[in-house]
Amino acid sequence: MPVTPIKPLGSALKYMAKKSVAVLGAGGDLGSTIFGSLQRSAARYSRTVSLLPRVPRAITATSIGPAKLLSSLSRFVLAYASENNIALTDFSSVETLNERLENYDHTILSTTYSLKLARVNPGTYEPPSNSGLTYEPLMEADAEEDIQPLSLTLKADPIEPDGGSLFHRALAADRSSKTCTYRL
């Protein structure tokens, strides 16, 4: 098939129009693949996705996310996820999620997440709760038996029944910001 020049309208439109991208639930196999693709794009091309100072961000909840992410990145040559790329986040808190998405242009979401109950790592996003456990959302293609799938409705939510789903909450995070330019 002949290759015809394309006119990009997104982040490849201008040299300095790099976009910063955050992936929610990057610990899953699909999320890690998306993160790897974005990270390689940022490293390979001088435009498109921002590499510095706002690196592609993998937003996870516990150390399970980065561990799964790093193991999945082996399919990409030269792809990496350093400490700067990973933001451990309390997904039950809109404020924390809002803080993690601060100054980011694009957010990659999924309508469905798998949830894995895991222990909160000390010294991460906040002191552990009473139980010390939280849910790690994973953007995965297939849910395992021991993973509780996130609700398929917008209203019900296994993490916080009154707080809306992760999909809902991630969108609401921007809405709750007092200083946002773009409001959802």
Partner 1 sequence: MHLQAVVIIAQAASLSYAKECVAFLQKETTTPFTFIFPSTDKLTTTKDWTYRKGVQRVIPRNEMALSVATAPLAKEDLAALVTAAIHCLDPTKSRIITVEASGDELTTSGCKASYQTSGLTTSSSFTSRK
Q: Which residues bind partner 1 (CB under 8 A)?
A: 1, 3-12, 19, 21, 29-30, 33-34, 36-38, 40-41, 44, 48-49, 75-77, 79, 98, 101-112, 139, 141-143, 152-154, 167-168, 170-171, 173-174, 177, 179-184
Q: Which is nearer to partner 1, 59 or 120 (CB)?
A: 59
Please say whether the beta carbons of 33 and 26 come within 8 A.
Answer: no
Q: Which is nearer to partner 1, 40 or 116 (CB)?
A: 40
Minimum distance, C-beta of residue 151 to partner 1, in the bound complex (Å): 10
Minimum distance, C-beta of residue 130 to partner 1, in the bound complex (Å): 30
Q: Which is nearer to partner 1, 121 or 148 (CB)?
A: 148
Please say whether the beta carbons of 40 and 33 come within 8 A.
Answer: no
Alpha-carbon distance values, 22 to 38, 75, 144, 170 (Å) = 9, 20, 25, 12
Residue 138: left (phi > 0), alpha (psi -120 to 50), or beta?
A: beta
Q: Which is nearer to partner 1, 95 or 126 (CB)?
A: 95
Minimum distance, C-beta of residue 30 to partner 1, in the bound complex (Å): 5
Please say whether the beta carbons of 30 and 23 come within 8 A.
Answer: no
Token duo for residue 4: 């015809």
